[in-house]
Amino acid sequence: MTEKTISQKKLLGVAGLGWMFDAMDVGMLSFIIAALKADWQLTPEQMGWIGSVNSIGMAVGALVFGVFADRVGRKNIFIITLLMFSIASGLSAFTTTLAAFLFLRFFVGMGLGGELPVASTLVSEIVPAKDRGRVVVLLESFWAFGWVLAAVISYFVIPSYGWQAALIIGALPAFYALYLRFKLPDSPAFSTSEAEKRTIVQNMRAVWSKNYSRSTLVLWVVWFTVVFSYYGMFLWLPSVMVMKGFSLIESFEYVLIMTLAQLPGYFTAAWLIERAGRKFVLITYLLGTAASALVFGNAETTAVLMGSGILLSFFNLGAWGALYAYTPEQYPAVIRATGSGMAASVGRVGGILGPLLVGSLVASGQTIGLIFGVFCASIVIGVVVLAVLGRETKQVELN
């Protein structure tokens, strides 16, 4: 394998492992929040802030690293962001105050937020049009492996060794960044000479130019509603299970089972996306997410709770895969990472508000059913905008 070429399988494996480590960190955070509640006697509002500070960092990272990926290349930003979140995650294991923990989680979030849109842009530019959607969804499927790994680590490590040990494990991807430096090629679509002709401000303005404003509007609305609902629901999932009467260990077990349902969600979306198109997969899986959220929030038996939780994971993560495939296809190469990063950044604003909203509503005594009803409604809004204004990009050649 040379610096200039890489097979699809190797590309998927190399980029996918970075994606998996991202998911492992985010997944462990949901379990760590539940553990910190007991260790530090956190209030619901403080628990909400942990998730939201992570998303504030992701919003900043997606914007900053997205625009710089169109200036210095996708590969360099991929490596920098991986190092940033790994080191900050390891350091956060040694914190003894909530303030210090939140400070480091901001930098973890910056690395995560920057890496994801840049990695999907890199892969989408290397893979041919006929396979692009499928491969990007399969890249996103590594998120499920990361969540499964997070659930396993949290189940076996946190109860016995503490949340600090889990965060130290989260620092290990820093070593993987060194491997990426030598094994991962940059995008053939990225041109240093072309990038030097354009300023960051020009690229950001171009995203809202006449040719791309409609696509940008659709992406910003869909990203906001998807991330708002995802982080509002999934970061609180172990804690919601505890609120519904399960022990901390039981909640970890049930969330692990629900997490496994993400894999068939991704794989079915990957199979459908080149056959039925991006819009069909996104709309179908988002509507499935909305319906599952409504049932989960109002579930009164373990069977209904587990069944709806499994479907929630299945549909929501399948939709995520399609969204990452769909986003880079809306822009030309010179502004692709900028457009993808800006859309992801707007989405992360939803990730800030979602956990905070849950913490606020829980503290005010609102029911879980009402809270999940809000997330259901937000997803439906995103679906309507996508259905009416979104354009199909199945097998469109990227320029």
Question: pLDDT tens for residues 227-250?
Answer: 999 888 877 777 777 777 777 667
Q: Indicate the range of 96-100, 119-123, 169-173, 180-184 predicted with least confidence.
A: 180-184
Residue 82: pLDDT over 80: yes
Question: pLDDT tens for residues 113-150?
Answer: 898 888 888 888 888 888 888 888 888 888 888 888 88
* CB 318, CB 266: distance < 8 Å: yes
Query: For the chain, what are the domain ranges?
Result: 8-181+199-389
Select from 230, 227, 226, 252 the least CA-distant residue to 239. Answer: 252
Residue 89: pLDDT over 80: yes
**pLDDT at position 47:** 83
Q: What is the CA radius of gyration of the chain?
A: 20
CA atoms of 228 and 352, how far apart (whole Å): 7
Q: Say whether domain 8-181+199-389 belongs to CATH 1.20.1250.20.
A: yes
Question: pLDDT tens for residues 282-323?
Answer: 999 999 999 999 998 888 787 888 888 899 989 998 999 899
CA atoms of 378 and 382, how far apart (whole Å): 7
Of the chain, the percentage scoring pLDDT greater than 70 comes to 95
**pLDDT at position 339:** 94
Residue 37: pLDDT over 80: yes
Tell me the pLDDT of the chain averaged across its residues.
86
Give 3's pLDDT tier (boundaries 50, 70, 90). Answer: very low
Question: pLDDT tens for residues 195-227?
Answer: 667 888 899 999 999 999 999 999 999 999 999
User: Average pLDDT in the 328-337 region?
Assistant: 91
Give 110's pLDDT tier (boundaries 50, 70, 90). Answer: very high
Residue 196 CB neighbours (<10 A): 9
**pLDDT at position 220:** 97
**pLDDT at position 238:** 72
User: Average pLDDT in the 265-293 region?
Assistant: 93
Structure tokens at 239: 């804690």
210: burial class by Cβ within 10 Å (0-12, 13-18, 19+)? exposed
**pLDDT at position 18:** 81
More confident residue, 130 or 373: 373
Phi first, then psi: what are they for 327, rounded to 5°? -65, -55
